[in-house]
Amino acid sequence: MKVVIIPQLTDNYAYLIVDEATKMAAVVDCAEAQAVIEAAKRERATLTAVLPTHHHYDHVGGHEALLASHPQLAVYGVDERIPGLTQRVEDGATVAIGNLALRVLLIPAHTTGHVAYYCSQEHALFTGDTLFAGGCGRLFEGDAAMMLRSLSLLLALPDDTRVYFGHEYTEKNLRFALSLEPQNQALRRQYDRVVELVKRHQPTTPTTLAIEQATNPFLRCRSPELRATLRRQYPELATDEVSIFAKVRALKDVF
């Protein structure tokens, strides 16, 4: 399996997933078709499928042009709002790309129809706008409890799973994380590494679930330091995990 990172728009990522044995390929989150078409040509791969994580334009805006040039493509999704949808799938369904099998994981909250795609053969996970490096998506169509449930589904996967996310938000996400856990040394090291990548104009994707569990504040609602930071600022804040998560999300929304 080869994953080609394709920058889209100003800070989005699409991913070309190539089965190197058959040269069959799929694209995750196509916002701009031409860059995806050119990447497939460079890889000498045959596009067979489109795998949108959710219906927002910055993840599906390239569908019309992509289908105009590749009308045979199958467009997968659980949400009828996906442009050009041809293959309605359910949570737990498997999508075959050559010899690769990608499992569809329904992870609502950013949108009600948001999914991730997980390849167990390669420990690779494509999370769209649910899980970012150092962050998570805004709660446009769900609430904090729903997002926590969705993130817990992802955290049940192996720690070495590579996470390919939808936006290059990492540096800002980690700056916010440091405001909550300034003594977290793993977080500090990750922030320094990301700053160097950004300086060199290199993508910060992928991350891993292990790194995220050590550095991502939305996965660290039980952290004593994070809770102490919030308690100093908001002494009346309830201590259950959903309330902590909701406050972290609200703070990040205005950071």
Give catalytic residues, as residue numbers: 54, 56, 58-59, 110, 129, 167
70 φ/ψ sector (left φ>0, alpha ψ -120 to 50, else beta): beta
What is the Cα–Cα distance from 78 to 94, expressed in whole angstroms?
12
CA 112 from centroid of its chain's CA atoms: 15
How many CB atoms lie under 10 A from the CB of residue 41? 10
Which residue has 């010899």 as its token pair?
99
User: Which residue in this structure is represented by tokens 């080609």?
Assistant: 4
Q: Which of 124, 108, 106 is nearest to 116 (CA)?
A: 106
Distance CA 200, CA 198 (A): 5
Contact, 129 vs 110, CB < 8 A? yes
**136 is written with which tokens?**
């998570």
Q: Which helix (H) or strand (E) holds 24?
A: strand 24-28
> How many Å apart are CA 253 and CA 249, to the nearest integer?
6
Q: Is the backbone peptide bond immediately before 206 cis, with ω within 30 degrees of 0?
A: yes
The whole-angstrom separation of Cα 15 and Cα 75 is 15
CB 174 within 8 A of CB 215: yes
